[in-house]
Chain A
Amino acid sequence: MNPPSQTTRLFRPASFLIGLVLGFLALVLAGRFVGHTDWHPNFVRFHPHITSETLYEPTIGELSSIIRANCRPDQILVVVGGNSIFQGVGQPVDRVWTRHLQELLGDRYAVINLAFRGAYATDGAAFAAEAMRKEFPRQIYLANIAPLNGSAPVGSDTYRFMFFDAYYKGLLTDFRARDDALENFLAHPHIYEGIHAKTRLAKVDAALRFRDFWTWWSANLFFTFPTERTPDIRTAFKPRNAFPDIEPDFETIPFEERFSDRFAQAEMEIARNYTAIYYEKDAAGAWKLFSDQEAGFHDNVRNAFPDELKPRTLLVVSRNSPYYTRQLPDDIRARDELAIRHTLAGWREAGHASIDYGLDFADTDYGDRTHLTVSGGRKLAKLVAAEIESMSERLGYLSR
């Protein structure tokens, strides 16, 4: 007969603790492992089901693994960042502009599109490229920007989780302006809600790797909760890698529909005010950049990227569709062109490469006021390819 104590010791605290520690250890190791594994075979770009739009937050390890899987050491790495324009909104996955850029540049280069909708030039793609600076020293980073837009060295609020990820894992180079921007956030927590909690979690994650592990889990096994875009049981728990990239093709939508009166008023308003906040007219009636805007822009540009990375960084300045700009008064068009010239000069003076696009584009090259159709994407790719080749020559990438 067994003693009665056997029934009272069903729970063993020491074994429980061993299980807890072993479990954490296994998850940390698994997180470290998957953080160095590419889980996006045949990657083309980040579509909404693998971005913050559906509460899937890609990790820097994930972006770096995509780079590693798609760029051979003998190739020149070309990382494409920026927003929806460079991500290729309105261009189906098989005809997105970065595919054409790859064709134009050839096998000597590996073009990887890591742009996100609504992102800054200094968001995740920039941090991933920076994190890979030693592994792929022959690299070019490019992103699109609007005229006179600088870019915060800590990225945008939406995608700041990628900055924290890279920063607290020690993947970024020393950069005083970035440290100062972070210090400023920490000292003024009302500017960025939850900054202290987010930084604390990012520091813990650097050790425990829960973001890498559960993001991998969400992509490959099942997503763990419903979101606004995946509210029903059929989609809520589907692994995110099971969702295809179903970006519609602007060119299958009739032009009259894309540029219908339904959008015209709002789009014209945006086009009219594209550069309005930056300029005033002087006594002679000429456009003059507000001095505080000018100082702010130059300050932003100087502090957007670390000095050592500026020469390999290409900023591409966007124009609005000629369908809208053609309808603007001459002096507003002149102001927009002046803003483009000031923007190019600002980025170049600070040590980056910079080009613009859209001046000779046709109405049909735009899918809406700002995004490009496949034909517009092909024209953009041609301009960008020429500049990348010229930068590669300048940076000595071709002589190796």
Chain B
Amino acid sequence: MISLIKRSGYRLWQKLPRPVANLITHAVSISAGLLVALILHYLLYRFGLPSKPFIYVVF
């Protein structure tokens, strides 16, 4: 089943006019870049947080 989907996708991809396929690959790569930027930015924030919350105790 999976191989059937893969094969159909491959055929569909091959049928696309080249400019459209190019546009899609650029869009996908830019989106991947945006996503990685989001993840890296978030990880910088997470690295700065302590692993345990502050436990408030009255003195």
Residues of A within 8 A of B (CB): 1-3, 6-7, 9-24, 26-27, 48, 51-55, 57, 84, 89, 117-118, 158, 161, 197-198, 201-202, 204-205, 208, 210-211, 213-215, 224-225, 227-229, 270, 368-371
Contacts and interface: CB of A to CB of B under 8 A. Distances in A.
Contacts, number: 135
Interface residues of B, number: 39
A11 B29 contact: yes
A198 B48 contact: yes
B56 A23 contact: no
B58 interface: yes
A202 B47 CA distance: 11
B18 A23 contact: no
B38 interface: yes
B53 A229 contact: yes
B25 A27 contact: no
A233 B52 CA distance: 19
Contacts of A2: 14-16, 18, 21
Contact of B34 (A19, A118, A201, A370): A19
A24 B33 CA distance: 9
Given A118-B54, A210-B45, A16 B14 contact: no
Contact of A15 (B18, B29, B36, B59): B29
B41 interface: yes
B54 A208 contact: no
B53 A53 contact: yes
A146 B51 CA distance: 30
B44 A205 contact: yes
A335 to B, nearest CB: 18
Given A7-B13, A15-B26, A53-B54, 12 more contacts: A1-B14, A6-B13, A12-B29, A15-B29, A15-B33, A16-B32, A19-B36, A23-B37, A53-B55, A210-B48, A211-B45, A228-B52
A82 B46 CA distance: 27
Nearest to A161: B48
